[in-house]
Chain A
Amino acid sequence: DVKVTQSSRYLVKRTGEKVFLECVQDMDHENMFWYRQDPGLGLRLIYFSYDVKMKEKGDIPEGYSVSREKKERFSLILESASTNQTSMYLCASSLGSPSYEQYFGPGTRLTVT
């Protein structure tokens, strides 16, 4: 079974703090993704990576950056956390062609106060 783990289930940070969310997958998947989920807005893609050190902006990259130094690990960075970044953050990975299914981690509920 594919396993995607996220470093924290719940996180509380203060406005202006730098926040790191870590994601690790154990299936040698090429592609990794960061989403945020908000009520009524569904899953919105923040950033994705299709290879080590490669990244592309998703639909809502503003206020975020990412790092992928190793194939199994994909980090999401909030450079200066703001209250509107309070959300559920979901990491996913996928093998790519021919399998397009993405496998998700359990999520991190981030609260910025």
Chain B
Amino acid sequence: DQQVKQNSPSLSVQEGRISILNCDYTNSMFDYFLWYKKYPAEGPTFLISISSIKDKNEDGRFTVFLNKSAKHLSLHIVPSQPGDSAVYFCAASARSGGSNYKLTFGKGTLLTVNP
């Protein structure tokens, strides 16, 4: 049972345009969400997070939106740059459920930004 779903295995955008990566979750206990970026042959690096008490969090070119009623979050990258080309993982945690140290990851979306 996949609790965190990234339904698009890949996404291709032009440099300078917006990239939108989507993530859906099924576990209503999830209350903290994170995005990670991973380059080939490297470990994932933390990008941005959002708590369920918010619906938006912004950090430079990266913005994460959370729609709790739809159990959906998205990562917006504006403007997209070729260096953003990587696999992006969505992750979720149920902090109030006692497993506040465990993350559940989606399968990832490969973003390619074309010059």
* A residues in contact (CB < 8 Å) with B: 4, 9, 30-31, 35, 40-45, 48, 50, 90, 92, 94, 96-97, 100-107, 109
Contact = CB atoms under 8 A, between A and B. Distances in A.
Contact of B49 (A43, A45, A100): A100
A41 B107 contact: yes
A30 B46 CA distance: 18
Interface string B24-44: 000000001010100001111
Interface in B45-104: 45-46, 49, 89, 93, 95, 100-104
Contacts of B45: 104
Contact of B100 (A9, A41, A48, A97): A97
Contacts, number: 59
Majority-rule SS of A interface residues? strand
Taking residues whose C-beta sits less than 8 angstroms from the other chain, chain B's interface range is 20 to 34
Contacts of B106: 42
A102 B89 contact: no
A30 B101 contact: yes
Contacts of A4: 43
B16 interface: no
14 contacts: A30-B101, A35-B105, A45-B103, A48-B102, A90-B44, A100-B32, A100-B49, A100-B103, A101-B46, A102-B103, A104-B45, A105-B43, A107-B42, A109-B41
Nearest to B42: A106
Contact of A40 (B42, B101, B102, B107): B107
